Amino acid sequence: MTRLSVNINKVALVRNSRGGNLPDLVQVAKDCEAFGAEGITVHPRPDERHIRYSDVPLLKEIVQTEFNIEGNPSDRFMQLVLDNQPDQCTLVPDSPDQLTSDQGWDTIKNHDFLTDTVHALHEKGVRVSIFVDPVEQFVEGAKKVGADRIEFYTGDFAKAYTKDPQKAVAAHRRCALLANKIGIGINAGHDLNLDNLKFYKDNVSELLEVSIGHALICDAMYYGLQNTIQMYLRLLK
């Protein structure tokens, strides 16, 4: 079955907009798990515009399912991850001023850097996923640097889905079969939502986990958090 990890960045963004601790990020993480989420994802950025570095140890202490920290492996980010040892670290090549992640790693060009980074994380017992576009050579490159999983960037899929779903998912389907063949696990995330999630899951072989934040939090404004998480879980089960 495909696991649902809820990205709570947007909850932190609302909290930060007014100062104080409303909404309480720790309580929201607890509630997401109580409502059925099978993981909690955070993506701290250098400017801490949503998740703060100080949030991470608090979340590490209370998350009972699977804790996933994603981000660009700068020295500061790596120290945060190594100090807190989440279940999974997802390496994302976003620049410090980037609004949101919009592309994956060139795992060929960055082979040496990624190999060293994966090794450092494995020494602390952290599973490593590498954010990639659905390109065969980058999937193979992720395997060569020692990653346990890849996470397909699904933003382009989501944009193309409304016009031609089959064309939109073709590269993901093809690269998933390759990943299955060479023995690397598959995660996915970015702009997956209630409209496109089931189609994506049905077409990507052996999809282990999806990380969803923005769309899920937007849906929760209408349907409520508990109901929304259950709606997403039904699409995955």
Q: Which residues are catalytic?
A: 43, 70, 190
**Encoding tokens for residue 170?**
């073709």
6 backbone dihedrals φ, ψ, rounded to 5° = -95, 120
Question: Is residue 92 a contact partner of residue 131, using CB atoms and an 8 Å limit?
Answer: yes
CA distance 157 to 172: 8
